[in-house]
Amino acid sequence: MIKHDFRDRALVKALAVLLTIACGVCAVFGWIYCGVNWDSMFDVGDFTYSSAWNQARENALWRLSERLGYEWAKLRWGKLTYLEEQEYQSALYDLDPARTNFRYTVRDNATGELLFSSDGKKSLDNAIDLRSSLRTYDARNSLNVEYDPDREVYVWSDDAGTELGESEDSAVPPQAVQDLPRVAWAVEYGVDSRLKVDDAFLAARNSYTVGNVKVFYVTAALTGAWLILAVFLLCCAGRRRSADTFVLNWQDKIPYDLYLCLMVGGAVLCFAGGIDATMEGWRHFNGEPYGKTLYIMAGAMFTLFFILVAAGLMSTAARIKTHTLLKNTLLRRLFGLLGRGGAALGRWWRTTFGSWSVTNRVIVGFLLYLVGTVLTGLTIVLIPVYQGVVLFGLCKWALGWKAIREGTAAIVGGAPETVIDTSDLDRPLCRDLKAHAEQLNDLGSAINSAVEERMRSERMKAELITNVSHDLKTPLTSIINYVDLLKKEDIQNETAQEYIEVLDRKSQRLKKLTEDLVEASKASTGTLATDPERIGVGQLASQALGEYEEKLVAAGLTPVTELPQEEVFVRADGRHLWRILDNLMGNCVKYAMAGTRVYLDVVAWDGRVTISVKNVSAQQLNIPAEQLLERFVRGDESRTTEGSGLGLSIARSLTELNGGTFRLEVDGDLFKAVVSFPQVD
Amino acid sequence: MYNILICDDDRDIVSALDIYLTSEGYRTIPAYDGEQALRAVEENDVHLILMDVMMPNLDGIRATARLRESCNVPIILLTAKSEDADKVLGLNIGADDYVTKPFNPMEVMARVKSQLRRYTTLGGRAEAQAAGDVLHSGGIVLDDAAKTVTVDGEPVNLTPIEFNILRLLLQHPGQVFSTAQIYEQVWNDPAYGSENTVAVHIRHIREKIEIDPSDPRYIKVVWGLGYKMEKIS
């Protein structure tokens, strides 16, 4: 949203543009005038102060110096060489009063005797711009002094090689030297005021014009006005009464670099043309009709120049205000095209390259690497750079691969919640690695959730069983107690007594069952804490047999034990080991055929201690060993015998909980349970 | 005539225990939660408390802790929780014994009698100690001179071998003896595979002196290592 004021009025803008053009053109003409008359503009003297006049005088004075030099040479040596003579004549020719307005007199400084002049003593009668100088020539200034060590004297000679004499002291020259010629010439010179000869002096006087200093002030004022107007135009640019934001006109939509080239080119041409025409008219056709034509042409060119300048400034300002200065350029469009082309090429390459098999990619990648090697091999500097870049890429790849390996190891090693960090792999070379890592992460999280789900469900199961058992125990207590009380009642009815017996038996079984159930669920979910100790297995077997002695005898079974000579030890929770043996022996008592033997062997072999319990089943074992380990499965399908069917399951769970292995073998009626633990010292 | 407080939120259990205890000649006071139990103890002269653990308002563990602030009457916990941690907690908080549900009424009666004997005949031990040659641990008193053993004052009949084994264990309370060591010390013979005999004898002793031989208070089985007499002051 921009403020609406007089700056968006078209009339104001047009007026300002016209004014800038007018001011600009006038100022340029003014500056040309000032430039041409710069010498005289601030001076108070006449034409003899003009630079052209000074130049002419310097030239003439230089010719005079040449002539005097040769005059001295003639005096010193008596003659001139051929070339010197030519130069001397040339100087004389130039200094001839018929050819120059320059006048001079040269006198002996001591006597005042006139030696040389333009045209006699009256040379300087009508002269203006009079000046004077003293010139001295001394032959003693160019002498050679050599010391002769044989004779111990100084030998003097001039620069022509002529020996002049000898002296014993270098500070005291011989007489011949002191007699050498020397002159001091007083030179006076000026310019004939009548300027009868057409030479540089006359041209200087003719070309001399006195600049009016007022023109300079007006020009400066115009320039200032132009600057102010230009700033005003910059402010106006882009504003329009009908729009609330800065707007662009047709020329502002031309790409800026193209626009700038055209504008600057046109402006430079116009300006140069204008200056050229002006100077041409002023120099050669001043006051002539053709000169006027040239001035008009120059004015037109300057007008065009200032139109271009004003348009360019306003367009630039409008572009800056709408932030399109750099956006709307040919270069930018070109780069945009190149970028899009590059991106498209990249996409094409990625899709093409990415769709190839790994083998092809490796081959093509290697070939590209070879090409790069060959190409960079042409320049020795690029070899380490290129190979370094390739090595860097390979190292990056290797690091990514390492991260994946470590992550995989962690997932496999029991931490499926591990997430491999793929943020470093988001580069073209590592795309396969990234896909691999992401798949592994998915796999890990799937395993993790499965494991968690399973753990949760197992825990819930164990909790449920524990809670249910607890809830069962309270009513069960009452049942047992009241059955017991019933038994104590004096009941004559034999059938009723029989029923009470059944109730008693079954309530006892229920009690056993609830206890086993809690234990089985705890053991199998691993919520049971173990307290591992060094356990003597032989001792344990003896104790177990001691506990079961009477029960075995009562069941008509004969125990046969084979224990190692030396005690063997395992590391486990003693109470759990006892429970395992308790369950196995209990099984024997319950299911073994009366009158058979029960074998309890302890064998230490190959770093393991194996306890095996063997018995002959009373019932036919028509189920496989694996199934016997299932909960609630018993050897007799009819389930008439006592036991919960959890004994073997508990034994196995407890064995595994303590780091052992549990195995069942059924061979006909021969039942064999094998418990094995690693032996410790 | 002893007053026994029965505290359980299950009224059937309370009345069943009431029948058993009354038939044994005890007077019973029923309570159905921890707070009632605390009130009953204040109002009556209670000699023993049977206390359930899981009860509304105030559970057995807290009630026991509160009771222990003021009196040392024997407390037997009745609990459906059979985890070791719960038993240890109950005993640490001040209970004297525990019975896990579902319990055998006979076992409860035996424990009640045992606790009452110890609670009421505390002076008897001092007499026995004065006589010398007397070994004891908890309620077990072994008189080596008279060759008699009593448990909570009740005489127990042991065979000579059993007596010797018990004496050995009582002489070194807390020390674990392997079956071989026990055999060598009691039989005075080197043990060659005769360890089963020791285990059988120990089982017999347990059956005679323990209320629940599978969960012994005195002669503990250290599985895989041997046996030891629990050190009870």
Percentage of chain B modeled with pLDDT above 90: 7
Chain A interface with B: residues with Cβ < 8 Å: 470, 473-482, 484-485, 507, 511, 514-515, 518, 533, 535-540, 542-547, 549-550, 561, 563, 574-575, 577-578
* Beta-carbon contacts of residue A219 (< 8 Å; ≥ 6 apart): A26, A27, A30, A31, A33, A34
Under the banding of pLDDT at 50, 70 and 90, the label for residue A270 is very high
The verdict on B13 touching A (C-beta cutoff 8 Å) is: yes
CB contact under 8 A, B221 and A578: yes
Contact A535 B224 (CB under 8 A): yes
Question: Does residue B189 register a pLDDT over 60?
Answer: yes
**Interval A443-477: pLDDT, tens:** 888 988 998 898 888 888 878 887 887 788 888 88
Interface contact B105, partner A, CB < 8 A: yes
Interface contact flag, B196 A546, Cβ < 8 Å? yes
By Cβ distance, the residue of B101, B193, B200 closest to A546 is B200
The pair of three-digit structure tokens given for residue B113, joined into one six-digit string? 């009698």
Q: Are A278 and A291 in contact (CB under 8 A)?
A: no
Using pLDDT thresholds of 50, 70 and 90, give the confidence band for residue A1: low
**CB neighbour class for A39 (10 Å; exposed up to 12, middle 13-18, buried from 19):** middle
pLDDT tens digit string along A109-155?
888 888 888 887 777 888 888 899 998 888 887 788 888 888 888 88
Q: How confident is the model at residue A428 (pLDDT cuts 50, 70, 90)?
A: low
Best of B196, B205, B228 to substitute, by most chain A Cβ atoms within 10 angstroms, is B196
B179: closest chain A residue by CA: A539
Asked if pLDDT for residue A267 goes beyond 90, the answer is yes
**CATH classification number, A531-680, choose in 3.30.565.10, 3.40.50.2300, 3.40.50.1480, 3.40.50.360:** 3.30.565.10
Contacts with B162 from chain A: Cβ below 8 Å = none
Q: At what angle do helices A289-321 and A213-236 cross, to 10 degrees?
A: 30
**pLDDT over 90, % of chain A:** 17
Residue A592 is given by DSSP the state B
List the single residue in A473, A539, A545 with the smallest CB-CB distance to B101.
Answer: A473
Q: Which of B165, B145, B176, B146 is nearest to B208 (CA)?
A: B165
**B223:A536 CB<8 A:** no
A128 forms bridges with which residues in the sheet?
Answer: A191
Q: Answer whether residue A518 shows pLDDT above 90.
A: no
Q: Which residue has the higher pLDDT, A564 or B127?
A: A564
Who among A470, A540, A545 is closest to B80 (CB)? A470
Cis peptide before B102, with omega less than 30 degrees from 0? yes
pLDDT at position B83: 67
Where does B44-130 have alpha helices with state H?
Answer: 60-68, 84-93, 105-120, 123-130
pLDDT at residue B233, rounded to an integer: 60
In chain B, the residue whose alpha carbon lies closest to the alpha carbon of A471 is B80
Tokens 């005038």: give the residue: A33
- Write out pLDDT tens, residues A284-299: 777 778 888 888 899 9
Residue A641: band (very low, low, confident or very high) from pLDDT cuts 50, 70, 90: low
Of A474, A481, A540, the CB nearest to B223: A540
pLDDT (mean) for A42-65: 83
Q: Which residue has the tokens 């700033």?
A: A231
Residue B145 in contact with partner chain A when CB distance is under 8 A:
no
Residue B178, token pair as written in the block: 């392997």
Q: How large a percentage of chain A has pLDDT more than 70?
A: 96
Q: Would you put residue A518 in left (φ > 0), alpha (ψ -120 to 50) or beta?
A: alpha
pLDDT-derived band at B221 (thresholds 50, 70, 90) equals confident
Please state the ipTM of this predicted complex.
0.79
| Domains along chain B with CATH numbers | 3-120 (3.40.50.2300), 125-229 (1.10.10.10)
Question: A82-95 vs A51-77: helix axis angle to the nearest 10?
Answer: 140
Contact B224 A511 (CB under 8 A): no
The mean pLDDT value of chain A amounts to 85
What is the C-alpha to C-alpha distance for residues A535 and A539, in angstroms, rounded to an integer? 8
CB atoms A478 and B10 under 8 Å: yes
**C-alpha of A486 from chain center:** 93
Q: Specify the pLDDT at position A202.
A: 85
The chain B residue lying nearest A542, using CA atoms, is: B196
Listed by start position, the domains of chain A span: 6-37+211-321, 47-207, 356-528, 531-680
Q: Which residues of chain B make contact with A481, given a CB cutoff of 8 A? A: 12-13, 16-17, 20, 105
Which residues on A lie below 8 Å from B20 (Cβ)?
A: 481, 485
- Cβ A549 vs Cβ B199: under 8 Å: yes
pLDDT in tens, B114-142: 888 878 765 444 444 545 678 878 778 88
